[in-house]
Amino acid sequence: MRVVRDPREMQDLALAKRRSGARIGVVPTMGFLHEGHLSLVRIAKREADWVVLTLFVNPTQFGPKEDLDRYPRDFDRDCALCEAEGVDVVFAPETPEVYAPDHTVYVVEDVLTRGLCGASRPGHFRGVLTVVAKLFNLTLPDVAVFGEKDAQQLRVIRRMTRDLNFPVEIVGGPILREADGVAMSSRNKNLDPASRRIAPRLYQSLCAARTAYEAGERRMAALRERVLETLGDLSPGAVDYLEVVDDVTLESCGERADAPVLIALAVQFPGVRLIDNIRLD
């Protein structure tokens, strides 16, 4: 396995691979890898001949009061995990190599990013799309794999890929969960013990809504109520958002959730914001 730091070297390497006819797969990550990331690597390995995992904590997707400095990092462990999974290249550039100090160009999506995380994290998706576009240009993938846990991110990246004609197939990987249902996330490590005990309620509450949906409940308010009931008492303001949206447009479903829907929520614990979602079809 090769570790590449220099964007130019990465691009040359990818170009040579493309010319040799290899199908390139990319798994973009911010590191501190867990089983969820590794499951994306396994998908990429099935889909491609040569797999690059990018490891870059992207500052432009963090707001000024967010956890950029506290975002967990462990480069050596990440490399060991990648090596064990058969990743071909870990691309881990430094921030000044990715962003020129006077950079002024960003990628912006205007519609799918209006609600959910886009509403509570202004500028977040501008940072995500900009870095993903840059990573696509540097690694030249045929296929790129992203987790379904970041459901809005996945849909926004698909839209960017379509609208900007990137010749990249976007594949979504299912959410992987801990034994108690907590969606795997690098941020889980920063949960204090009390928050970690409460965290399983996120998925339990989504499952409660799914049970109601499967029993025929389509009233949006009733589905929301099921989630809130199961979440129970959290500190005031802890629920950043809880939305029942159309799975494709990400617009609120109105009174009735008849089309395939996504129920998405974000809960703020001390110093850690967790997101989760469930798709009901």
Cα atoms in the 13 Å half-sphere on the side-chain side of 189: 12
Give the nearer residue to ligand PAF in terms of CB position, either 154 or 212: 154
Identify how many contiguous H helices and E strands the chain contains and give both numbers.
10, 9
Binding-site residue total for ligand PAF (CB under 6 A)?
Answer: 10
128 part of the interface to ligand PAF, by CB under 6 A: yes
Q: Is 37 annotated in the active site?
A: yes
CA distance 277 to 263: 5
Region of 24-32, 160-168, 173-181, 235-243 interacting with ligand PAF (CB under 6 A):
24-32
Region of 63-71, 85-93, 112-120, 126-134 interacting with ligand PAF (CB under 6 A):
126-134
Alpha helices in 142-199 (DSSP H): 151-163, 193-198
205: exposed, middle or buried (Cβ count in 10 Å: 0-12, 13-18, 19+): buried
Neighbours of 30 (CB within 10 A): 19
User: Which H/E stretch holds residue 96?
Assistant: helix 95-98
58 part of the interface to ligand PAF, by CB under 6 A: yes
Q: Please answer whether residues 207 and 229 qualify as being in contact, where contact means their C-beta atoms are separated by less than 8 angstroms.
A: no
Which residue in the set 24, 38, 40, 131 belongs to the binding site for ligand PAF (CB under 6 A)?
A: 131
Q: Provide, rounded to whole angstroms, the least separation between the CB of residue 132 and ligand PAF.
A: 6
| Contact track, ligand PAF, 27-46, x by CB under 6 A | -xxx----------------
CA distance 80 to 82: 5
Within 199-238, the residues that bind ligand PAF by CB under 6 A are none
Region of 113-121, 125-133, 168-176, 263-271 interacting with ligand PAF (CB under 6 A):
125-133
Give the nearer residue to ligand PAF in terms of CB position, either 159 or 210: 159
For tokens 């979504």, the residue is 172
The site for ligand PAF (CB under 6 A) is made up of 28-30, 58, 61, 128, 131-132, 150, 153
Residues marked active site are found at 37
